Each structure stands twice: as C-alpha cells, then as structure tokens.
Amino acid sequence: MTLLALIAFPFLLAPFAGWAGGRSSPLVAAVPLLLFIGFAAMMPYVSADAIVHETHRWIPSLDIRAAFRLDGLSLTFALLISGIGTAVFLYASAYLKGAPRLARFYTVLTLFMASMLGAVMADDLMLLVVFWEMTSLTSFLLIGYTPEAAASRRSAQQGFLITVSGGLAMLAGVILLGTAAGTFSITEILDQREAIAAHPAAPAIIILLAAGAFAKSAQAPLHSWLANAMVAPTPVSAFLHSATMVKLGVYLLARMDPIFSDTGLWITLLTLFGAATMLVGATLAMRETDLKRVLAYSTIVSLGTLTMMIGIPGELAAVATVTFLIVHALYKACLFMVAGIVDHETGTRDSSKLGGLRHYMPKTALVALAGGLSMAGLPPFIGFASKELVYETSLETSGWWLVVAAALLANIAMVVVAAIVAIRCFAGEQTSTPKTPHDPGFAMLGGPAVLALLGLVFGAAPGLVGESLIVPAASAVAGYPVDYSLSLWHGFTPMLALSLLTLALGAFVFLRWDSIRPRLAGISQIDSWGPDRLYDRAMDGLQRMSTWQTQLIQSGSLRGYVARTLLVISVAGLATLLIRGGFEMPSFAGALTPDVTLAVLLVIGALAVARARNFVAGIVAAGLVGFTVALLFLVRGAPDLAFTQFSVEALAIVIMLAIVGRMPFRERDYRPSRERVRDIGIACLIGVTATLIMLAVLAQPFDPRLSDYFRMTSVPEAHGRNLVNVILVDFRAIDTLGEIIVLGLAAVAAAAVLAGLRRATSEKRP
C-alpha cells in the first residue's frame, strides 16, 4: 500500500492545501515536502536495481488494474515533481499573496501534482491515460487562472485542445498496444518487447504514442501553446511548463523506448522531430524580450533535445537523457522563479528595459548567476557534464553531423538565454523601473537558491546523484542495467572543443543580440504563417463551418428534423439488409385469425391518421392504433402489458386533446403538395424498412434462452413473479433509472416553462 498511499496523499490533502494557500501560509509547502521525503526514502531500494510493484483491483472485467511501478525513471520524476513542487509552493505563498481565488489555485495545483505522480508511477496503460488527462484538465485551470482576461482564456483553451487531442491519439495507441500485447500492464509489455516491436500494428502504435507525447511535450509544430501558457502566474510556469507537465510526454517516450529502440521508424521520428523542435525553439527564443517567453522557448529547445536523445539508441544516450532531464528541471525552475522575482519587484519583465539590478537585488543576482551558469553549461555546475554527454551522444550517432549541428545551435541558444536572464538584467547600468526593486524574502528566494545550489553541488560531486538516481533511471530507459560513472571532467576531448565553441559563439550572439533580435522579430512570415497563427485560423474556420452547418441543418422545422432522421434510418436499414443479404420471409402457417383481424385494424388506424383533416381526428385515430396494439398484447398472453398500454393510451388521448383544445390552430394543413408527397414517400420508406426488418427477425428460429433465464431467476434472485416488473426494476434497473431521470428532467423543464408563462401573463394583466 506504500505507493498507493504516496499517490493518494496529495489528493486527500488538496483541501488542506487550498485552506493554507488561501491564507498565503508557507505551511502549504508541507504537502509536497512530505511527499519528497517519502520518495527520497525509496531511493535505497531503487538504487539497488530493485523495482517496487503494487497492484490493486480496479476494473477486473476489462483486466484493468490500479497497478503502480517505482523504478529509477519513475522515482526520478517523482523526486523532481515533489522537490520542485516544494520550492514552487513556498515561492507562491509570497508571490501570490493577496491575489484572488488562492484557495482554488492551490487546490488545483495540488491535484495537478498528484496527477503527475500518478502518471509517472502507473504500471497500467489505462491508469496512465486517466492521470494523463487529469494533468491536462488541471493545467487548463491553472493556465486560465485569470478567466476575466481574454489572453488567459485563449491560452488555456489552446493548451487544452492541443494536449487533449494528443491524448486521444495516445489513447488509440494504448488500445492498440494493449491489444497487441494481450495486457495493459507496462511491466508485462516490457517483458515481451521483441514480439511487440515485430507486431504488424507496431508502426501505428509508434505514430499514435508519439503524437500524444509530442503534443504534451510541445514538439514542433505543436509547440505554440507552451509559450502562450506564460500568461499564467510564474509559479505555474515554473512548475508545470519547465519541470513537470511538459516532461510527461518525454516520460512516455522514455518508458516506451526499450520496446521500440531498435525500430527505424521510432529512431527517425524522434530524432527528426526532436532536432526540428530544437531549431524552432532556438530561433523563436532569439526574437523575444519577455523573460518568461524567452525561457519558455528555451524549454522547447530542451524538450526537443530530450526527444532527440531518446531517439538515439544506446546506454550513453539513456544516461545523457536522464542527466539532462534533471539538470534542466533544476536550472529552468530556478530561472523561471528569478524571472518572476524580477517582475514582482520591478513591475516589468521586459529584458530590453532592465539592467543594473545587482545594485538593488544582490542576492537575486547571485542566484540568477548560478542558475544561468548551469544553463550555459559551465563548470563546476552539473550543466557542464550534461552538455558534454549530449555532445558525446551526438558524436556517436550515424549521420552525426546533423545531430551535432542541431545540438550545437541549441546549446548556443541556451548560452544566450542564460546570459539574457542572468547577466543582462543584473549587470550594466541601472535603469528606471515602474517599481523600486529590492531582494524578496526567504519564501520567494529560498526555492530558487536551493535549486541553483544543487546544480553546483551535483556538479562538484556528481556521485551524489549519479549512482543513486541517474544510473537506475538510465537503466529503465535503456531496458537493461547500465554501468556508467558520471564525472565532471573527461579530459581534452572533442566534446570539450564543442563546449568551448558553444560558449564562444553564444557570447558572440549575446553581444550582438540587440541587433540580431530586431531582425528576427521583423520576419513577419513567422507570425503570419507560424503554428500559433494557423491555430487561430483553424479555430475561425471551425466557427464558420459550424455556423454554416447549423444554418443548413437547424432549419427550425420539427417536421423537417423528423423527416431527415427517418430518411437516414430507413436508408441505412435497407442498405444493411441489401449488403448483408438479410431479406427473409417467415412462415405464416401458424398465424391466428385474431392476429390477422388486429393487423387489418392497425392498417385502418394508420390510414385514418394519415387521412385525418384536423388534430382531434388524428389524435383519436392514433389512439385506435394504440388500443389495437394493446389488444394484440392481450391475445398473445401478456395481460399486464395490455392493461398498461390501455391506461397509457387513454391518458395520452385525454392529455393531448386538452392541449390541442387550448392551442390556436387555424389551418388544417399548411404543407404544399410537394412537401406532402415527400412526407408520404418517407413514411412509406420507413414503413417498408421496419416491415422487412421485422420479417427477417421473425424468419429466424426463436431463441428462448433469455426468456427462460428471466423465468427461472425472477423468483429466487429478484423475489418477484411479475416478469415485466422484475425485468424493469431489477435486471434493467439502470435503464429504468435513466428513463425516470429523463422524465423527471422533462417534468421540471415543463413546470418551469408553465411557471414562466403564468408569470408573464400575470405581469401583463394589470
């Protein structure tokens, strides 16, 4: 029950987080802190190559279990989620102090954290899908924290539509994968990886799973939602969009990598999309001045790097992936919170208008410098070791020049972004800002300071995190035990040369950034034809198509709606009978004389309804049809149904006659001749279709198993002798409950309409 308890803990404490956060109490950080301590206690088990499994019953009829798995990969994500969550919760208690809707904000943020933990620890694909969609829903609420702002609504909707659409593709891939493997258990699927990789459905599974992961992890061309999500408060940006939610797609790819790592489609798809995302993110980051958007586009670069690393086979790529995953989470969450501090204390986050903040904010400047140095990949920070691993992995790939070029350009962008945040804003001459800046208190500065310090500590002593976390996680990604010793210095190698080249070119671009940025920002085609603009055009097109479709279909004529519905039903029924060869005639040898007589009465009643000149005559003729059906029930030995039908028909005739008598009908039939002919044709077509289907059913031998079952079990199991009542109340209780609810809602709606009419009449009366 340990894993289930760790996941249930934040769900149960979400109300407490809302209560404490609503009072801006730092105590709200206790929720993720306790989770972090719980997961840290599991490290000795996982570092010994152990995998903790836990299974509980959930939906046994579908072989779906609430199964959880804790290995190196899931533990790494769990520690990042809860650890950075602690820093973010503490930071938000000061950053959002006095903001509206705080209780709701912290409740949703806690539910998001719980959903992330459930997703990375799920050992059942269907359970993973459930938690996956919960992260999309909670992130939608967090991005739309200020629903009164149009930009907030638009960004929340965009992120939700893109990630949920990807989730639908992923669900299809999960169903195919579970069908191919014969199980939804991730552990059992990993055990039969060779058979699944050779399955005919493997290409479709790869494409669908990759589509879901790409949408979640903002891979090009689905990247635009991530930058737009920066309208959310900085704690949301630091938590969701740098360290956690956007990494969920990366987690899925890493979890599935042992299955498809030798598949050409998997390698090509991940490598190409990852490299393209790196280049797109680097280009867009160079166009921005808003600190949060600059960091957001650099996150896109990092997500592309992770995707490309996963696509490269081999244990070195697995080590590089996990190391970069941890390093990026540390420095990016740190710098996002620094950007929020700058905005909070100065009143602006436009980097072109900031400078000299070190004089007012020396502590913040030191934290920003430490985070920036790790992001730029300078020793002795662990970011240097991560960058070396990325270059080493790139050099070992076939077609290495393309991968190395993408990695080089991406790392140059990282150096420039780090310099913009950590140097440009704090160095240089003092600039005037809307507010007089100063260092914040511990609640806001403590979290980013700890994250920056960890980057330095792990770089100086990589063994602290290498053997206990990185190697077990890399083993999970590779699918077999990995033997690697993480170190900061590898000597004078080609990777070191590439690192020096990266720093030199990055420094050059940063020094020329004031002239490069306006040129990139002036390329109007990026704004006019980029994915973000295409999204707006797609939404506009959807609205126009919906308007056209509504005008075409919703004509306002109930007669027209019924005619189209019956026409579609009849054509579909006849087509099915024709294609399947379903035309059959039963034997009428045993037909009873009363049946024939009643059939003649039914035909007479139907003709009377069609020939009725007014509503009263039509209602009476329709009642004749109903009474004839009741007589048929009576003749066939179902007196309870017959008397029910008699009661319903009599009551329906009385009610309808009362209603018609109060309605101002003047014309007998306002339809032109053309519409009458059309309606006659549709009526005949639906009648012929229903008759042919009924004849085909009667031509089949009667199967008494169901009726025998009800007859034998009604007394011992349902304690009733009236079969009809027993079926409705016991065997079909859910159907009956649904029908009662529908009728109840209809009655409430009718009562509301009648009450409104009475009120309107009484208001007019004076």
Share of the chain above pLDDT 70, in %: 96
Map residue 312 onto helix, strand or coil: coil
Q: Are residues 686 and 761 in the same domain?
A: no
Please check whether residues 454 and 533 belong to one and the same domain.
yes
Q: Same domain, yes or no, for 449 and 533?
A: yes
By the 8 A CB rule, do 326 and 299 touch?
no
Residue 303 scores a pLDDT above 70: yes
- Alpha-carbon distance of 571 to 567, in angstroms, equals 6
- The answer to whether residues 739 and 670 belong to one domain is no
- Give CA–CA dist 490/173, Å, rounded: 41
For residue 465, is it within any domain? Answer: yes
- Residue 766 pLDDT > 60: no
Report the pLDDT value the prediction gives residue 665, as an integer from 0 to 100. 63
The answer to whether the CB of 623 falls within 8 A of the CB of 653 is yes
Distance CA 476, CA 249 (A): 16
Average pLDDT, rounded, for the chain:
88
Same domain, 698 and 725: no
pLDDT digits (tens, 9 = 90+) for 359-383: 899 999 999 999 999 999 998 999 9
**Contact in structure between 455 and 327 (CB atoms under 8 Å):** yes
Q: Is 146 a residue whose pLDDT tops 70?
A: yes
Distances in Å between the alpha carbon of 415 and those of 137, 238, 366, 419, 507?
34, 19, 17, 6, 7
Look at residue 137 and tell me if it is in a domain. no
Position 363 scores a pLDDT of 94
- What pLDDT score does 140 carry? 94
Asked if residue 504 and residue 606 are part of one domain, the reply reads: no
Same domain for 584 and 471, yes or no, is no
Per-residue pLDDT for 590 more than 70? no
Q: Which amino acid is at 115?
A: S
Write out pLDDT tens, residues 457-514.
Answer: 999 998 889 888 999 999 999 988 888 888 888 778 888 899 999 999 999 999 998 8
pLDDT for 57: 85
Residue 627: φ, ψ to 5°: -65, -35
> Final residue of a domain: which of 702, 734, 754?
702
3-state secondary structure 287-300: CCCEHHHHHHHHHH
pLDDT on residue 327: 94
DSSP SS3 for 232:
coil
Asked if the model's pLDDT at residue 667 lies above 60, the reply is: no
Q: Which of 508, 537, 566 is the last residue of a domain?
A: 537
Q: Say what the pLDDT of residue 765 is.
A: 60
pLDDT for position 710: 84
Work out the pLDDT band at 587, boundaries 50, 70, 90: confident
Which H or E run includes 67? strand 64-70
Q: Are 486 and 466 in contact (CB under 8 A)?
A: yes
Token reading at 668: 């007998």
The mean pLDDT of 688-702, rounded to a whole number, is 87
In this predicted structure, what is the pLDDT of residue 668? 60
Residue 562 sits in the same domain as residue 650: yes
Same domain, 336 and 469: yes
Q: What is the pLDDT of residue 764?
A: 62
| Per-residue pLDDT, 69 | 93
pLDDT tens digits, 85-134: 999 999 999 999 988 999 999 999 999 999 999 999 999 999 999 999 99
Strand partners, 46: none
More confident residue, 9 or 658: 9
Judgement on whether residues 411 and 304 belong to the same structural domain of the protein: yes
CA distance 318 to 312: 8
Share above pLDDT 90 across residues of the chain, in percent, rounded to a whole number: 51
Residue 395 in contact with residue 407, Cβ under 8 Å?
no
Residue 757: band (very low, low, confident or very high) from pLDDT cuts 50, 70, 90: confident
484 & 394 share domain: yes
Q: Which of 55, 8, 52 shows the shortest CA–CA distance to 31?
A: 8
Closest C-alpha to 378, from 456, 283, 274, 299: 456
Domain that residue 572 falls in:
557-702
Examine residue 130 and state whether it is found in any structural domain, yes or no: no
Residue 73 lies in a domain: no
- Residue 400 CA to residue 423 CA, distance in Å, equals 33
Query: Per the structure block, which two tokens stand in for 116?
Result: 């992330």
Q: How many CA atoms does the CB half-sphere of 15 hold within 13 Å?
A: 1
Q: Of the segments 57-71, 139-153, 619-633, 722-736, which one has the largest average pLDDT value?
A: 139-153
Alpha-carbon Rg for the chain in angstroms = 34
Query: Is 263 within 8 Å of 289 (Cβ atoms)?
Result: no
**Which residue type, as a one-letter code, is found at position 41?**
A
What CATH number is given to the structural domain containing 586? 1.20.120
Is 749 inside any structural domain? yes
Peptide bond into 672 cis (omega under 30): no
pLDDT for residue 320: 94
pLDDT at 518 over 70: yes
Tell me the per-residue pLDDT of 310-326, one tens digit each, with 9 for 90 and over: 999 989 999 999 999 99
Residue 121 covered by a domain: no
The answer on 620 and 760 residing in a single domain is no
pLDDT in tens, 235-277: 998 898 766 788 999 999 999 999 999 899 999 999 999 999 9
The answer to whether residue 186 sits within a structural domain is yes
Contact 103, 97 (CB under 8 A): no
The pTM of the full predicted model, rounded to 2 decimals, is 0.80
Give per-residue pLDDT as tens, 189-233.
999 999 999 999 999 999 999 999 999 998 989 988 999 999 999
Answer with the one of 702, 737, 755 that is the final residue of a domain. Answer: 702
pLDDT value, residue 242: 67
CA distance 122 to 70: 9
Q: DSSP letter string over 476-538?
A: HHHTS-------S---S-HHHHHHHHHHHHHHHHHHTHHHHHHHHHT-HHHHHHSHHHHHHHH
Whether 70 maps to a domain, the answer reads no
DSSP bridge pairs for 54 = 68
Question: How many domains is the chain partitioned into structurally?
Answer: 3
Predicted local confidence at residue 669, as pLDDT? 58
Q: What is the distance between the alpha carbons of residues 215 and 26, in angstroms, rounded to a whole number?
A: 34
